[in-house]
């Protein structure tokens, strides 16, 4: 064809005798006969069985304690409080008590969970600016339009971190106490770092370059998301290096969950303390769930909208949504946000498939 081979003669146009052109390429043509397929099936079945047994054992060695604190303790008071928008500014805290019958050995992880909270909505997931959280000054002052309507407040001041995801960040705080006796209790120390992917913490989320300024100065000219009580540079009062965009709670929250019911890592038991060296001993525990609700400004309009709904919806929709909210417990079908707390102990993998075909 295109090639000009200087052939001539009566066979000039004879096609090449190559295996490719004559479709005689050496080839392997397997056939799925019983002889080949059945042994494969048996092998597969054996593998699956072994795997399944192993996984079953693994799962049984995993302990998990789940507490749905929507309904527990005095948390329903907070729910009632939240029902009324006018109380939005009030703080509320509650305590949930529970006991562990069998000590949790090894690493203990502390999660919070939400039910029916759709982090996977398309527009919700789009509503973030990775350039901003990467610490780009330009995006800091001028967030992406994808963040709208959470890119700027009514006065045109840019929001950092912008977007719906950041705005709805879960920022309840939990204090776990171990009751050594009825009167004496010690707080259980939790590590609040190391909760994220390495790449998130070190690459994806960066603070803007400080250039000898404090973080607060860098973030000057921006305001925190509407529903936040604290600005992004003072999210963690205890660890100055865990502030700004690299705050791990923020990073954990910003890694959207794929499904509406999800849990996220809150902390890891710090086993430096001799009491907790081997994990959580059995005994009585309590969790203090606290709310620090600063005054809301500039979000009045949103409130107004919510309040007008036929059935006043729980306060969880109000500015700081992160309250442990009774809604889920009392009206699960309506419950938009429910906070659940779980204990999990991990040793290796937790799940896998148990499959035995044929």
Binding flag, residue 358, another protein (CB under 8 A): yes
Binding flag, residue 54, another protein (CB under 8 A): no
- Closest approach, Cβ 183 to another protein, in A, equals 32
User: Which of 43/180 has CB closer to another protein?
Assistant: 43
Q: How many residues bind another protein (CB under 8 A)?
A: 100
* Residues between 206 and 225 that touch another protein (CB under 8 A): none
Binding flag, residue 3, another protein (CB under 8 A): no
Q: Name which position in 63, 70, 168, 242 contacts another protein (CB under 8 A).
A: 168
CA distance 15 to 6: 14
Binding flag, residue 272, another protein (CB under 8 A): no
Q: Name which position in 3, 5, 25, 181 contacts another protein (CB under 8 A).
A: 25
Binding flag, residue 248, another protein (CB under 8 A): no
Binding flag, residue 79, another protein (CB under 8 A): no
Alpha helices (H) in 64-200, listed in sequence order: 75-83, 122-126, 130-133, 137-141, 164-167, 198-199
Phi then psi for residue 80, to 5 deg, are -60, -40
Q: Name which position in 3, 30, 181, 211 contacts another protein (CB under 8 A).
A: 30
User: Which of 111/178 has CB closer to another protein?
Assistant: 111
CA distance 174 to 283: 19
CA–centroid distance for 46 within its chain: 37
User: Which of 41/210 has CB closer to another protein?
Assistant: 41
Binding flag, residue 134, another protein (CB under 8 A): yes
Whether 314 and 79 have beta carbons less than 8 Å apart is answered as yes
Binding flag, residue 174, another protein (CB under 8 A): no
Binding flag, residue 199, another protein (CB under 8 A): yes
- Closest approach, Cβ 224 to another protein, in A, equals 16
CA distance 40 to 358: 11
Q: For the sheet containing 108-114, what is the strand order?
A: 64-68, 339-345, 108-114, 262-269, 190-191
Whether 339 and 114 have beta carbons less than 8 Å apart is answered as yes
Q: Name which position in 2, 156, 237, 295 contacts another protein (CB under 8 A).
A: 2
CA–centroid distance for 110 within its chain: 13
User: Which of 74/84 has CB closer to another protein?
Assistant: 84
Binding flag, residue 237, another protein (CB under 8 A): no
CA distance 119 to 100: 32
- Closest approach, Cβ 9 to another protein, in A, equals 5
Whether 80 and 350 have beta carbons less than 8 Å apart is answered as no
């Amino acid at each position: 064809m295109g090639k000009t081979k200087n052939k001539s003669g009566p066979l000039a146009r004879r096609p090449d005798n190559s295996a490719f052109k004559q479709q005689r390429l050496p080839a392997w043509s397997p056939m799925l006969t019983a002889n080949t397929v059945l042994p494969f099936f048996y092998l597969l079945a054996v593998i699956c069985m072994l795997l399944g047994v192993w996984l079953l054992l693994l799962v049984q060695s995993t302990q998990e304690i789940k507490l749905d604190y929507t309904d527990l303790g005095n948390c329903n008071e907070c729910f009632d409080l939240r029902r009324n928008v006018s109380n939005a500014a009030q703080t509320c805290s509650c305590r949930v008590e529970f006991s562990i019958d069998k000590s949790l050995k090894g690493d203990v992880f502390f999660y919070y969970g939400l039910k029916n909270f759709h982090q996977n909505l398309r527009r919700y997931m789009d509503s973030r600016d990775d350039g901003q959280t990467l610490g780009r000054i330009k995006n800091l002052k001028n967030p992406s339009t994808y963040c709208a309507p959470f890119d700027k407040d009514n006065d045109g001041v840019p929001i950092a971190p912008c977007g719906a995801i950041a705005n709805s960040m879960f920022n309840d705080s939990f204090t776990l106490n171990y009751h050594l006796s009825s009167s004496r209790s010690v707080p259980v120390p939790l590590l609040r770092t190391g909760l994220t992917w390495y790449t998130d913490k070190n690459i994806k989320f960066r603070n803007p370059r400080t250039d000898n300024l404090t973080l607060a100065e860098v973030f000057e000219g921006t305001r925190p998301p509407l529903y936040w009580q604290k600005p992004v540079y003072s999210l963690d009062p205890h660890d100055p290096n865990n502030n700004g965009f690299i705050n791990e709670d923020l990073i954990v929250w910003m890694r959207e969950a794929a499904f509406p019911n999800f849990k996220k890592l809150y902390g890891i038991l710090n086993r430096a303390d001799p009491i907790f060296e081997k994990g959580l001993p059995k005994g009585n525990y309590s969790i203090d769930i606290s709310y620090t609700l600063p005054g809301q400004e500039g979000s009045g309009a949103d409130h107004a909208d919510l309040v007008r709904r036929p059935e006043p919806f729980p306060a969880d929709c109000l500015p700081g949504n992160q309250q442990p909210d009774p809604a889920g417990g009392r009206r699960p079908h309506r419950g938009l946000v429910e906070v659940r707390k779980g204990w999990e102990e991990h040793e290796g993998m937790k799940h896998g498939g148990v499959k035995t075909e044929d």
